[in-house]
Chain A
Amino acid sequence: MRAVLLHLALSGLVLFSPLALAQPAAPPPLEKPIGQETVHSDISTREIAIQSNFTGIEILIFGSIDFSDSRTPGEGTYDVITVVRGPDEPIVIRKKKRVAGIWVNGPGKTYGTVPGFYAVLSSRPFRAITSDSTLKELGIGLSDLDFGRYTIGDPQEQAYRSAMIRLKEKSKLFQEVDNGVTFIGRSLFRATVALPVNVPVGRYTADVYLFRDGEVASKSQGSLEVTKAGIEALVFSLAFKHPFLYGLLGVLLAVMMGLAGWYAFRRD
């Protein structure tokens, strides 16, 4: 058995162990067939309801690697990368400039398809798992995301793009979590994704990729729905579908509170 097998046990620790670094750089033996192992996964919560006490939520993505069809089970380096992606939305990014001593927003740049949420979790730093071209092809990693705007080669555009990624990362809407996928034993794995309070509503996908010696061996996809629920859903739909009624309700509530306050505190 190669020392690399330890990956399956405790990937987080293995990363820094000398054994992992001692992994031979030689290409995998040619006689080995393409792995036929499959990955199965699911999400702990299929539907997330945002209610008045919502302050963010953690979801669990779990799964297992099925070696049954593989001729040489457990042979090779196994890695898991999972990508959770929220609905795309158009976004405007602006840069402030100093005009007459005051900081003023400059003209904005619009990005047509920015994921409302995007997280990459991996069993070890994902850039070490596979080649850059494979990552790019699969759309894994913030630097390989397509935001619906051509930015390559333009340093100014590049600055806007990286500023947007930085801002999204700051609000936890973009995440890259190395070692975010933990193996339990040889075939079970789990990953915890923290959705912050400002997650957009809509359909989310959770892609789980199984890599074997740097090649995609299997893929599994799940999805979850983030919705507003209870009073929040009612308020939100009223505000956008019947805005006049909604405004009237706001005025009436305020008038009633004003009347109640006057009545409660009147002195005659």
Chain B
Amino acid sequence: MFQIYLPIAEISVNLAVMLGLGAAVGFLSGMFGVGGGFMLTPLLMLMGIPPAIAVATGANQIVGTSVSGTLAQWRRGNVDLQMGAVLIAGGVVGALIGVFLLKYLRELGQAGLIISLAYVCFLGTIGALMLWESVRAIRRARAGKGGSARKANQHNWIHGLPLKMRFPRSRLYISAIPPLVIGVLVGLLASFLGVGGGFIMVPAMIYLLRMPTNIVIGTSIFQIIFVTAIVTLLHATLNHTLDIVLAFVLVIGGVIGGQFGVRAGQKFRGEQLRAMLALMVLGVALRILFDLVVRPSDLYSIVPLAGL
């Protein structure tokens, strides 16, 4: 099979495998409307790409797939630019924190461990919550009750905060602080874990900010472009961990896979999709946890002093 040499990771990988990986992750992201970074980065790590390079390159891949996704959402008028701008402002701050944190941990030799632990915690929690929620929804649908249990436009503590801003597209008049905080958190996740952060942002905007679901999805994917682009730039500049050849191969696969994913996703009901996604998220978390707990085949590891 055709091997391709990755100039930054300095290993040779199978081109077909990497294209397939990009396509599979793109398919999932199109199907579930998520960035797919939470699958891609751990899979790259499992394939022997050094963790820091997997994170930076994963972020770059998400830029490409989010552009396709955003254009589709934009045409349906689902992007709230004001909200997006506030989220991006927070995202830049979070991205900076994450990039420096990763740089520091790499010097300590703990980057791989902390990235893995963070993945286990985040994916484990989110996966479990999503599974619980979607199973309840499926049961409700079977019982024939239907409809959402969500209470509309109820005031909560969010409405007591200062710095109120108007978000016409979302029909909201709320403080800019919660979206800023969400932005910081997403930026941190993006730069530290190589994920878009959609799996945190979407529930946060729906349940905390009470934005309409369709606007949430459009706005989330819109701001992911910018946050992952900034993260890519920061990692490339400060850590030299972006492998452009690998990113390019993954983007090609991802963009194509994403289009088929969108079509496949339309064949399932929302709660079924969420249950499937939850199982997959939990699966990835367990796989990473397994690697942390099982005795490694070699206790020693070597890295060049200069990097990685």
Interface residues of A (CB under 8 A from B): 50-55, 89-96, 98, 101-105, 108, 110, 160, 163-164, 166-168, 197-198, 228, 231-233, 235-236, 239-240, 243-244, 246-251, 253-255, 257-262, 265, 268
Give the top 3 A-B pairs by smallest Cβ distance, nearest first: A258-B67, A247-B236, A261-B255
Q: Are A246 and B305 in contact (CB under 8 A)?
A: no
- Taking the complex as formed, is B129 at the interface, i.e. its CB lies under 8 A from any CB of chain A? no
CB neighbours (8 Å) of B235 from chain A are 247
Residue of B nearest to A240 (CB): B240
Q: In this complex, what residue of B is CB-closest to A107? A: B109
Among B10, B61, B252, B306, residue most surrounded by chain A Cβ atoms (within 10 Å): B10
The answer to whether B60 and A251 touch across the interface, beta carbons within 8 angstroms, is yes
CB A250 to nearest CB in B, in angstroms, measures: 5
Are B237 and A254 in contact, CB atoms less than 8 angstroms apart? Answer: no
Are B244 and A253 within 8 A (Cβ)? Answer: yes
Whole-angstrom CA separation of A101 from B233 in the bound complex: 36
Contact A239 B240 (CB under 8 A): yes
Cα of A95 to Cα of B75 in the assembled complex, Å? 54
Additional A-B contact list (20), CB under 8 Å, known A90-B306, A232-B245, A262-B72 = A52-B4, A90-B305, A92-B109, A93-B302, A96-B299, A98-B295, A102-B293, A105-B301, A167-B298, A197-B5, A235-B244, A243-B240, A246-B244, A250-B236, A251-B232, A254-B63, A254-B229, A258-B67, A259-B67, A262-B71
Task: Identify B296's interface contact among A54, A96, A168, CB under 8 A.
Answer: A96
Instruction: List chain A residues, Cβ under 8 A from B245.
Output: 52, 231-232, 235
B35 within 8 A of partner (CB): no
Measured in the bound complex, the distance between the Cα atoms of B68 and A197 in whole Å is 35
Q: Answer whether A254 and B7 are a contact pair too, CB < 8 Å, given A91-B304, A104-B113, A246-B244.
A: no
Min CB gap A118→B, angstroms: 14
B236 neighbours in A (Cβ, 8 Å): 239, 243-244, 246-247, 250
Nearest CB of B to A112, in Å:
9
Interface of A is mostly: helix
With most chain B CB atoms within 10 A of its CB, the pick from A93, A102, A253, A261 is: A261
The chain B residue with its CB closest to the CB of A234 is B7
Question: B212-252: contact bitstring with A at CB < 8 Å (1 yes, 0 no)?
Answer: 00000000000001000100111111101010110110011
- B64 at the A interface (CB under 8 A): yes
| Most chain B CB atoms below 10 A, which of A53, A101, A235, A258 | A258
Q: Please give the residue numbers on chain B whose beta carbons come within 8 Å of chain A beta carbons, in ascending order.
A: 2-5, 7-8, 10-12, 60-61, 63-68, 71-72, 75, 109-110, 112-113, 117, 225, 229, 232-238, 240, 242, 244-245, 247-248, 251-252, 255-256, 258-259, 292-296, 298-306
- B187 to chain A minimum Cβ distance, whole angstroms, is 16
Q: Identify which of A89, A198, A236 contacts B8 (C-beta below 8 A).
A: A236
**Main SS of the interface on chain B?**
helix
CB <8 Å contact, B4 and A53: yes
- Cα–Cα, bound, A259→B65 (Å): 9
| In contact, A232 and B5 (Cβ under 8 angstroms) | yes
Chain A nearest CB: distance from B121 CB in Å? 12
List, sorted by A's number, 17 A–B pairs whose CB atoms are closer than 8 Å. A55-B3, A92-B302, A93-B300, A94-B301, A104-B113, A105-B110, A167-B298, A239-B242, A247-B237, A247-B242, A248-B233, A254-B229, A254-B232, A257-B252, A257-B255, A258-B66, A268-B75
Please, which residue of chain A has its CB at the minimum distance from the CB of B110?
A105
Complexed CA–CA distance, A235 and B233 (Å): 15
Q: Are A251 and B248 in contact (CB under 8 A)?
A: no
A103 and B112 alpha carbons, distance in the complex (Å): 11
Q: Write out the residue numbers on chain A whose beta carbons fall within 8 Å of the beta carbon of B299.
A: 95-96, 103, 163
Output the residue of B3, B110, B244 with the most chain A CB within 10 A.
Answer: B244
A20 CA / B110 CA spacing, docked (Å): 54
Task: Say yes or no: A232 contacts B109, CB within 8 Å.
Answer: no
**Smallest CB–CB gap between B201 and chain A, Å?**
19
* A248 and B225 alpha carbons, distance in the complex (Å): 13
Task: Provide the residues of chain B in CB contact with A259, threshold 8 Å.
Answer: 67-68, 71
Identity of the chain B residue whose Cβ is nearest the Cβ of A233 in the assembled complex: B7
Task: Choose from B67, B293, B300, B304 the contact partner of A90 (Cβ within 8 Å).
Answer: B304
A81 shortest CB reach to chain B, Å: 26
Q: Which residues of A contact B11 (CB under 8 A)?
A: 197-198
